């Protein structure tokens, strides 16, 4: 299939697929006239690349993962998954704090235990004076 259809199926502009090819993470075959020919397999690979990019994994890492032995790939993916889980925990805590502060009636952070606990857990210990 042509690049425009493949791009539509993946949900990215065609220039993104060209860039991924230039970066060595996607390798469609070529037709007469040097036109890219994407198969269903290429589209599925591009979908995975797209999802990895959305998760914050760079093209250099994706290229390395594609060429890595399975054991190395597994360790890298596990480390990335752990980083993402930690980031998700951080974002969930921030969202919870925002929901709390939308209704918090305390004018000073130290007057509200939930606000103070969030600030301390967020690494702001050095800038807040917490009661002993």
| Domains with residue ranges and CATH for the chain | 1-67 (1.10.1660.10), 81-132 (no CATH)
Question: Cα separations (Å) of 41 from 28, 32, 46, 125?
Answer: 9, 20, 9, 51
The structure tokens listed for 45 are: 């690979």
State residue 51's pLDDT score.
94
Phi and psi dihedrals of 37, rounded to 5? Answer: -125, 105
- Residue reference for tokens 């007057």: 111
**pTM (2 d.p.):** 0.67
Mean pLDDT of 25-34: 92
State residue 95's pLDDT score.
86
> Which of 17-26, 44-53, 55-64, 114-123 bottoms out in mean pLDDT, i.e. has the lowest?
114-123
Question: Cα separations (Å) of 42 from 57, 129, 130?
Answer: 19, 56, 56
Distance CA 103, CA 60 (A): 44
DSSP structural state of residue 12 = S
The structure tokens listed for 53 are: 């990019």
Distance CA 94, CA 11 (A): 30
Question: Cα separations (Å) of 9 from 22, 59, 75?
Answer: 20, 20, 30
> Which of 18-27, 70-79, 101-110 bottoms out in mean pLDDT, i.e. has the lowest?
101-110
State residue 122's pLDDT score.
64
Q: Who has greater pLDDT, 107 or 92?
A: 92
- Residue reference for tokens 């790939």: 73
In this predicted structure, the answer to whether residue 14 has a pLDDT above a threshold of 90 is yes
pLDDT digits (tens, 9 = 90+) for 64-94: 888 888 888 888 888 888 988 998 988 888 8
State residue 125's pLDDT score.
38
């Amino acid at each position: 299939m042509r690049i425009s259809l493949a791009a539509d199926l993946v949900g990215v502009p065609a220039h993104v697929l060209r860039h991924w090819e230039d970066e060595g993470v996607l390798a469609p075959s070529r037709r007469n006239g040097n036109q890219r020919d994407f198969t269903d397999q290429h589209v599925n690979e591009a979908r995975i690349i797209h999802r990895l990019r959305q998760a914050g994994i760079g093209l250099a890492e994706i290229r390395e993962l594609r060429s890595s032995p399975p054991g190395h790939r597994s360790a890298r993916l596990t480390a990335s998954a752990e980083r993402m889980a930690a980031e998700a925990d951080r974002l969930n805590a921030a969202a919870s704090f925002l929901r709390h502060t939308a209704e918090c009636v305390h004018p000073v952070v130290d007057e509200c235990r939930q606000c103070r606990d969030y600030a301390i857990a967020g690494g702001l210990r050095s800038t807040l004076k917490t009661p002993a």
